[in-house]
Amino acid sequence: MRRLATLCCVLLVLGIAMAAQPFDADAEAKAFIADHEARIRPLEKLASIAWWNANISGKDEDFKKKEETQNKLDTMLAESEPFAKLKKLKADMPKDKLLARQVEVLYLQYMEKQVDKELLRQMTAKANAVEQAFNVFRAKVRGKELSDSQVREILKRDRDSGYRREVWEACKLVGANVEADLKALAIMRNQAAKQLGFGDYHKMMLHLNEQDQGKVLALFDELDALTRGPYEAAKAEIDAALAKQYNIAVDQLMPWHYQDPFFQEPPSIFEVSLDDTYSKVDILKACRQFYAGIGLPIDDVLARSDLYEKAGKSPHAFCTDIDRDGDVRVLGNIVPNEYWMATMLHELGHSVYSSKNIPQTVPYVLRGEAHILTTEGVAMQFEKFSKSAKWLESMGVKVEKPEVFDATARKMLRNQLLIFSRWCQVMLRFEAALYANPEQDLNKLWWDLVEKYQGMKRPAGRNAPDYGSKIHICSAPAYYHNYMMGQLFASQVHHALCREVLKVSPNEANYTGNPNVGKWMKEKVFAPGRTLPWNGLTKFATGEELNAKAFASDFGK
């Protein structure tokens, strides 16, 4: 009886609603999503396959196909009619939460492509011009042209400060070559943002990624406060070691002494190399064993993957979910060293957080990671084990002097993360300020930030567009901060897992052989897919919104 009465009430309410309001948002949303899937899903799969093939073969025809498929997809998302429908749905959201979330995600996906076509064409042309300038640029020192890797090699090994300075200054000259184009590009990007109703391009890009510029900057302020002291302590150690290497006083250290042209990576200052241990490790076997042991087997991924070097193939590494139906693959170029152990743990970390472990009940539109920062976070959470002797030994690998390995590896990891976090501060703040006012003195802004966050000295009297020598500002704009937020996510999830499952302190944790790790990760991190926005997922998994505390307690205070 009760059920019947309830049903009648529902019908009554529905009847009234239908009479008063002819637009049924739930039904409209359902129809839109079905149509979207029918039109876009096959193309998304083709685009993923084309991308995979191009990276494996390196052939012109495969790259052409990749570009064509991507353009086709972009054109469909740029159509104004479906976007108008989405706008209407956004204003009058479906009541069903899952439908509403899909509308939100699709709205942002289509919105990104709604920029005026002529402006988009000009922006692409400018961005290509800058990239081209990067590709053809060679640093020229004492009449000799140097490739990018030669520059890096010299900055890594040469002991002559005067020569280092020449090489460093020469490699920064690309900034002057692209300065005018980059400024013009920033102004055009701002125009595009204004067309879509945003204050500037940086604010728009963050919004499209479900982030708020003010909140991200506040998070980076918190990170700054928590890591400043530990960073300064780590840098003092590095400075002392470098000064000794170059046979100069610490206060004579200049940007060209830090090996990486931007000091985004730690200089090598340790006697011990982790590669000695890894030269004897079967990396694939270790990955297979590790992931199976934590209840997240990856044999199916490896079977579809392309893992070793060959001619024409991309030299990097990535993981891709081809169809959101479980076809997940990794591209790698494995050689037995620590870098590739970490990289394979990283890429396979992406692979377990994919449609392989997100239930089919999650609708197609939402069947992927919550955000780029959450999948980077998971990958980095697993990657760190390559720097633990305890982990290696639990995998059956004999480590010669485990205390020495651990002491070195721990410092390497600490230096790497602290240095990277300070560098990300510079990138985020520079990009936010660049788009807020592209006409300001950008040369000065860049060095003000480098001094403040990285603690490197500005060469006396230097007035050059050094920011322009970082290609990401052109080709991956307003993106860099996500790597750092991924690190915060990795630490925060690791702490929650230690608290709730492993019951050990975070710096003692070893996941090896514990299937409860995979079970918890599946339930708390993977299963929601994109049904939750990234910060909602962070709260669901860890009980708190994303913050810098766990990271700082791992690598800082």
Three-state SS for 380? helix
Token representation of residue 451: 């001094």
Token representation of residue 417: 């993360």
In the complex, what is the shortest distance from the CB of residue 375 to Zn ion, in angstroms, rounded to a whole number? Answer: 7
Window contacting Zn ion (CB under 5 A); options: 29-37, 124-132, 166-174, 379-387: 379-387
Instruction: Please state, in angstroms and rounded to a whole number, the distance separating the CA atoms of residues 289 and 215.
Output: 40
Three-state SS for 461? coil
In this complex, which beta carbon is closest to Zn ion, that of residue 375 or of residue 454? 375
Window contacting Zn ion (CB under 5 A); options: 125-133, 369-377, 391-399, 533-541: 369-377
In the complex, what is the shortest distance from the CB of residue 484 to Zn ion, in angstroms, rounded to a whole number? Answer: 13
Question: Which of positions 444-473 make contact with Zn ion (CB under 5 A)?
Answer: none
- Name the residue type at position 28: E
In the complex, what is the shortest distance from the CB of residue 264 to Zn ion, in angstroms, rounded to a whole number? Answer: 16
Token representation of residue 296: 């997240």
In this complex, which beta carbon is closest to Zn ion, that of residue 170 or of residue 344? 344
In the complex, what is the shortest distance from the CB of residue 308 to Zn ion, in angstroms, rounded to a whole number? Answer: 20
Instruction: Please state, in angstroms and rounded to a whole number, the distance separating the CA atoms of residues 320 and 52.
Output: 8
In this complex, which beta carbon is closest to Zn ion, that of residue 317 or of residue 365? 317
Count CA atoms closer than 13 A to 315's CA, side-chain side: 0
Window contacting Zn ion (CB under 5 A); options: 174-182, 219-227, 372-380, 470-478: 372-380
Contact between residue 259 and residue 157 where contact means Cβ atoms under 8 Å apart: no
Measured over the CA atoms of residue 23, residue 25, residue 26 and residue 32, the dihedral's sign is: positive
- Name the residue type at position 396: G
In the complex, what is the shortest distance from the CB of residue 112 to Zn ion, in angstroms, rounded to a whole number? Answer: 21
In the complex, what is the shortest distance from the CB of residue 291 to Zn ion, in angstroms, rounded to a whole number? Answer: 16
Burial of 174 (0-12, 13-18, 19+ CB in 10 A): buried
Q: Which residue is nearest to Zn ion (CB)?
A: 379
Cα R_g (the chain), whole angstroms: 25
In this complex, which beta carbon is closest to Zn ion, that of residue 172 or of residue 481? 481
Window contacting Zn ion (CB under 5 A); options: 29-37, 50-58, 148-156, 374-382: 374-382
In this complex, which beta carbon is closest to Zn ion, that of residue 375 or of residue 531? 375
Size of the site for Zn ion (CB under 5 A): 2
Instruction: Please state, in angstroms and rounded to a whole number, the distance separating the CA atoms of residues 452 and 444.
Output: 12
Q: Which of 408, 361, 413 is nearest to 528 (CA)?
A: 361
In the complex, what is the shortest distance from the CB of residue 270 to Zn ion, in angstroms, rounded to a whole number? Answer: 25
Contact code string over 212-251 relative to Zn ion, x by CB under 5 A: ----------------------------------------
In this complex, which beta carbon is closest to Zn ion, that of residue 374 or of residue 415? 374
In this complex, which beta carbon is closest to Zn ion, that of residue 181 or of residue 376? 376
In the complex, what is the shortest distance from the CB of residue 421 to Zn ion, in angstroms, rounded to a whole number? Answer: 17
Residues facing residue 144 across a β-bridge: 141
Residue 373 within binding range of Zn ion, rule CB under 5 A: no
Contact between residue 80 and residue 114 where contact means Cβ atoms under 8 Å apart: yes
In the complex, what is the shortest distance from the CB of residue 349 to Zn ion, in angstroms, rounded to a whole number? Answer: 8
Which stretches of 476-533 are assigned E, i.e. beta strand? none
State the pairing for strand pair 144-146/318-321: unpaired
In the complex, what is the shortest distance from the CB of residue 265 to Zn ion, in angstroms, rounded to a whole number? Answer: 16
Other CB atoms within 10 A of residue 508 CB: 9
In this complex, which beta carbon is closest to Zn ion, that of residue 151 or of residue 370? 370
In the complex, what is the shortest distance from the CB of residue 80 to Zn ion, in angstroms, rounded to a whole number? Answer: 34
In this complex, which beta carbon is closest to Zn ion, that of residue 46 or of residue 328? 328
In this complex, which beta carbon is closest to Zn ion, that of residue 379 or of residue 426? 379
In this complex, which beta carbon is closest to Zn ion, that of residue 82 or of residue 486? 486
Window contacting Zn ion (CB under 5 A); options: 134-142, 258-266, 334-342, 375-383: 375-383
Other CB atoms within 10 A of residue 31 CB: 12
Instruction: Please state, in angstroms and rounded to a whole number, the distance separating the CA atoms of residues 174 and 179.
Output: 8
**DSSP, res 507:** G
Window contacting Zn ion (CB under 5 A); options: 194-202, 225-233, 336-344, 368-376: 368-376
The packing angle between helices 213-246 and 201-208, to 10°, is 100
In this complex, which beta carbon is closest to Zn ion, that of residue 379 or of residue 419? 379
Which of 103, 379, 389, 428 lies at the binding interface for Zn ion (CB under 5 A)? 379
Query: Which residues, in sequence order, are CB contacts of 475 under 8 Å at separation 6+?
Result: 127, 130, 131
In the complex, what is the shortest distance from the CB of residue 67 to Zn ion, in angstroms, rounded to a whole number? Answer: 23
**DSSP, res 501:** I
Residue with tokens 């994303």: 546
Window contacting Zn ion (CB under 5 A); options: 115-123, 212-220, 228-236, 377-385: 377-385
Window contacting Zn ion (CB under 5 A); options: 146-154, 218-226, 378-386, 528-536: 378-386
- Please report, as ranges, the residues that interact with Zn ion according to CB under 5 A: 376, 379
